[in-house]
Amino acid sequence: MARILHDGRTYRPYEYDSEEEFEKAVVDHSREIFGPDSVYFDIKKRLENENVLTIPDGYLLDFSFQHSPRLYIIENELVEHDPFRHIGQQLLKFATAYEESRHKLKQALSDEIQADSEKRAFIEERAAEADIRNVDVLLDEVIYGSQAAAIVVIDEITSDLENVLGQLTMGTDVVQLKTYVREDDIIHHVRPFQQDVRSAADDEESIDPEELDTVVVPARREGFEETFLGEDCWYKIGMASSMVEQVKYIAAYRTAPVSAITHYAEVASIEKYQDTGKYILHFKEPAEEIDRIPLPDAHEGIAPQGRQYTTFERLLEAETLEEVFP
């Protein structure tokens, strides 16, 4: 089993005794897992009192997109559970219960907000920043104004899990929370939810995440020629569900020896790619060649290793890669 080094000490993988223990770790570290622009609601007991038959592990109110806050169903799972019979079926039940129990959900969230002054102050501030009149209107917008979406937090992402999520029509994101231990010292490793969105918007120019409309993908020569140019598409892209409706353009960063962005295409549609949990982007027209946007000579190490987001305007104005990304 893989081990990690932290502060010069070796940690081994930690095995949770139960899903309840794993869920407690998620609740305790919710800000680190879901980001500083979010509020986690652990309201199963409140919903049980409302006689809601199918109740998820929690809900997340996310303000990563300032003017478009989103509410997510949270399912905390251990990889040992059957993703087909357990996770997939659970998410379908949750989605159905969400549609049928919106009023009870709103009341439970409202009660939780009113009972927690810290939560209330944070949410009221974010609602004001989003030009939303009050918390009641905010809850109406996130509960009644959008379809159910989910986040699965799991200790290990597997191909079976991706296969199940690829078959669901609801927007679903996955966060992997891995835990390690040395004697009595426990540490966690996680890539926070929406981290790539926040990273793209976190610079001195303060780009609003809602302005991000372009995804840049690294492409090797064979894939670039055969797929990006030859098939007018790009597939098996892992994207946050929140970005699916926002992305309007795709640009190709061609790996060494080219080491530059050379082409872009306008996106016609984005669909789930087979049963992978990832996406395929279809182009409206064949990719268009642009003036090379190379790596700056002094920063050879900033080449994109995975997808990154930017704005189309920023892409067209850039002369080097460091001007494309924050």
Cα–chain center distance at 73: 13
Instruction: Specify the pLDDT at position 240.
Output: 87
Q: CB within 8 A of 96, min separation 6: which ones?
A: 54
Q: pTM for the complete prediction?
A: 0.86
The Cβ of residue 106 has, within 10 Å, a number of other Cβ atoms equal to 17
Question: Does the structure show a pLDDT above 90 at 201?
Answer: no
- Among candidate residues 104, 115, 110, 102, the one with its CA nearest the CA of residue 50: 104
pLDDT tier for residue 161 given thresholds of 50, 70 and 90: confident
Question: Does the structure show a pLDDT above 90 at 121?
Answer: yes
Residue 120 sits at φ, ψ, to 5 deg, of -60, -45
**Tokens (6 digits) for 204:** 């001195």
pLDDT tier for residue 92 given thresholds of 50, 70 and 90: confident
Q: Are 279 and 272 in contact (CB under 8 A)?
A: yes
**Measured CA angle at 191 (ends 190, 197), to 5 deg:** 155
Question: Does the structure show a pLDDT above 90 at 195?
Answer: no
Instruction: Specify the pLDDT at position 295.
Output: 84
Instruction: Specify the pLDDT at position 292.
Output: 94
Question: What whole-number distance in Å separates Cα of residue 146 and Cα of residue 90?
Answer: 20
| Mean pLDDT across 120-133 | 95
What share of the chain has pLDDT > 90, as a percent? 56
Residue 254, Cβ density class (10 Å: 0-12 exposed, 13-18 middle, ≥19 buried): buried
Q: Can you name the residues that pair with 151 across neighbouring β-strands?
A: 74, 173
Instruction: Specify the pLDDT at position 43.
Output: 82
Question: What whole-number distance in Å separates Cα of residue 106 and Cα of residue 301?
Answer: 48
Instruction: Specify the pLDDT at position 188.
Output: 94
Question: What's the N-to-C CA distance of the chain in angstroms?
Answer: 36
| Per-residue pLDDT reduced to its tens digit, 202-221 | 555 557 788 899 999 999 99
Instruction: Specify the pLDDT at position 267.
Output: 98
Q: Minimum mean pLDDT among 2-11, 47-56, 267-276: which range?
A: 47-56
Arithmetic mean of pLDDT over the chain: 88
Question: Does the structure show a pLDDT above 90 at 62?
Answer: yes
| Mean pLDDT across 74-86 | 82
Residue 301: DSSP 8-state: G
Amino acid identity for residue 319 in this structure: E
Question: Does the structure show a pLDDT above 80 at 108?
Answer: yes
Instruction: Specify the pLDDT at position 198.
Output: 75
Instruction: Specify the pLDDT at position 46.
Output: 67
pLDDT tier for residue 200 given thresholds of 50, 70 and 90: low
Question: What whole-number distance in Å separates Cα of residue 123 and Cα of residue 139?
Answer: 10
Checking 194-199 for CB contacts under 8 A at 24+ apart, the result is 194/34, 194/35, 194/37, 194/62, 194/64, 194/240, 194/242, 195/35, 196/240, 196/307, 196/308, 196/309, 197/64, 197/65, 197/240, 197/242, 197/243, 197/309, 198/35, 198/37, 198/64, 199/326
- Among candidate residues 275, 209, 274, 192, the one with its CA nearest the CA of residue 245: 209
Question: What whole-number distance in Å separates Cα of residue 6 and Cα of residue 154?
Answer: 22
| Per-residue pLDDT reduced to its tens digit, 240-293 | 888 998 999 999 999 989 999 999 999 999 998 887 778 999 999 999 999 999
Specify the residue for token string 């079926």. Answer: 89
Q: CB within 8 A of 237, min separation 6: which ones?
A: 215, 217, 273, 278, 279, 280, 281, 307
pLDDT tier for residue 187 given thresholds of 50, 70 and 90: very high
Instruction: Specify the pLDDT at position 123.
Output: 97
Q: Can you name the residues that pair with 233 across neighbouring β-strands?
A: 282
Radius of gyration for the chain, computed over Cα atoms and rounded to the nearest angstrom: 21
